[in-house]
Structure 1
Amino acid sequence: MRPDVTAVLKELRAALERLYGPRLQDLLLFGSHARGEEREGSDLDIAMILDAFDRPWQEIERTGPEVSRLSLQYGLTISLIPVRAKDWAGRDTPLLLALRAEGVPVP
């Protein structure tokens, strides 16, 4: 993994841990970066597994300032997708199946 990707993932995890505390159950990199198939300009697809939330767009708004700051700082587009822990554990949507197949935990 490229050093800039490793650095942004580390900073993102730290920021989300500050924001959510124990509600943040996991952070998974998926998509082209997880498969090692990224190209110039590929975005970072990241799933954020949270205890519970009402509306995904509210979590996207909540994380937006930090995601934007890191995207600008590193010149990388970050696509952060909130996933409910109960859905992660018990549903089989195309997105969740892809996450289970190729998701790489962000340390």
Structure 2
Amino acid sequence: MPKRIPANIRKLMKELKEGLARIYGDKLKAVYLYGSYARGDYREGSDVDVMVLLKNYRDYWREYHRSSDYISDISLKYDVTVSYILIKEIQWKEEDKPVVRNIRREGLPA
């Protein structure tokens, strides 16, 4: 992660990736930081936008809730709001939705 990213956010992303690996195991393919922190135009109070890339899942909300308590704990620990989305590997490779294009362009792997 580039040095222009604040140290606390670099640390958060490292810890987040490790924790998500414990939750999702082999399903976890990658974790990306995107949005204002990835672009470098964050301000005080900016949220931390995270994309969680999973191999596959059937029920988005079921998978989302598997990690929601952990994400809340990380948010409290680092005193920031972590906003996250899950994306299937096939969507990452094949879809052309604006959010996917945006993350491909500016996202930074954890």
Same fold (TM over 0.5): yes
The partner residue of 1:31 within 24, 32, 35 is 35
What's the CA shift string for 1:24-59, capped at 9, x where partnerless? Answer: 111111000000000001011010110111232222
**What 5-or-longer segments of structure 2 have no aligned partner?**
none
Write the mapping of 1:54-73 to structure 2, written as runs, cut at 5 A. Answer: 54-73=58-77
Aligned counterpart, 1:46: 50
Structure 1: which 4+ aligned runs deviate by more than 6 Å?
none
Calculate the TM-score normalised by the size of structure 1.
Answer: 0.95
Answering whether residue 10 of structure 2 is matched by residue 9 of structure 1, we say no
Aligned counterpart, 1:74: 78
Q: Distance in 1 between matches of 2:23 and 2:64?
A: 12
Which residue identity is paired with 2:53? Answer: I
The partner residue of 1:18 within 19, 22, 38 is 22
Which residue identity is paired with 1:64? Answer: S
Count of aligned pairs between the two proteins: 106
Q: Distance in 2 between matches of 1:32 and 1:49?
A: 19
Q: Distance in 1 between matches of 2:18 and 2:45?
A: 24
Calculate the TM-score normalised by the size of structure 2.
Answer: 0.92
For the aligned residue pairs, the C-alpha RMSD in angstroms reads 0.8
Question: How many percent of aligned residue pairs carry the same amino acid?
Answer: 36
